[in-house]
Amino acid sequence: MKTNIFISLALTLTLFNDMAIAGSFTDNGNGTVSDSNTGLMWQKEDDDTTRTWESAITYCEGLSLGSYSDWRLPNIKELESITDDTKYYPEIDTTYFPNTNSSFYWSSTTLAINSSDAWYVDFGNGYVDYVIVNKSSLSYVRCVRGGTP
């Protein structure tokens, strides 16, 4: 019984530790949102277009938004950091990230055991996964700048 309680508590603390803290986002008024917890700047709205993984990388690297041109596809940890476990469908704060699709969003992180697959976040439920998401599949994209790729 003590083991089950300990595991549940550890899992809960881990999940809440990774969750974005309310009030950490600032709408910059130029199509971008800054996160004071991570130091990252995010594309406020995606363009509602699904892309392959390679096309997603190209899109972000070619993006010019808010007078910045150093955008990139976020890694899985960065992308997961903007999920909000208090929201559902989509699992993100739509005040700062309006019109987010309740669907898969690419990360730049390749699956270690199969370089044909990449990790994604499902903003419908906040799951982080790679199941049947081959890099040739189509998913949405939200670009980021700052931090370490």
- The full set of domain ranges for the chain reads 2-145
**pLDDT tens, residue by residue, 94-129:** 999 999 999 999 999 998 888 999 999 999 876 776
pTM of the model as a whole: 0.81
Mean pLDDT, the chain, rounded, equals 83
Average pLDDT over residues 48-53: 97
Edge-to-edge strands, sheet with 104-110:
104-110, 118-122, 127-129
* pLDDT surpassing 70 at residue 71: yes
Strands 41-43 and 104-110: unpaired
Q: Give residue 38's pLDDT.
A: 94
Q: Give residue 5's pLDDT.
A: 36
Lowest mean pLDDT among 16-20, 59-63, 80-84: 16-20
Please report, to the nearest 10 degrees, the dihedral formed by the alpha carbons of residues 97, 123, 140, 47 taken in order: -20
Identify whether the C-beta of residue 38 lies closer than 8 Å to the C-beta of residue 80: no
* pLDDT surpassing 80 at residue 49: yes
Check if CATH label 1.20.1250.20 holds for domain 2-145.
no
